Amino acid sequence: MGISQSITQMKIRFSISMAEEVVALIDAEVGKRKGFANRSQAIETSVRQLLELEDYANGGVDFMIRFLKLLDEHPGMGKGYLKFLKEVKQRSNENLAGR
């Protein structure tokens, strides 16, 4: 579900307890940023971004685990991949030098 879809969904009200300092930090951010209408919107946006970031990071870790397993299962691939990366780097450096 994308962010724009979740905005049209019905909101569920619940309460949370936070340290006074945290609430003050949130209120200061709401005051500085015109994108937040209120404290609830700031908290909702922050939680959503945190969860999406964790999901993205976990995907990267999963990819690396699968990639390293693949290299372990096929040792010859590592040398070919390293050669490919060096060629890409060289092309990139040549393109930057030609500007």
Helices (H), the chain: 3-7, 20-32, 39-73, 75-97
Of 24, 55, 58, 56, which Cα lies nearest the Cα of 42? 24
Cα–Cα separations (whole angstroms), residue 52 to 5, 12, 68: 15, 20, 24
- CA–CA separation, 65 and 52 (whole Å): 20
Which pLDDT belongs to residue 58? 80
Instruction: Spell out the domain ranges in the chain.
Output: 17-97
What pLDDT is recorded for position 20?
94
pLDDT < 70: residue spans in the chain: 1-8, 34, 98-99
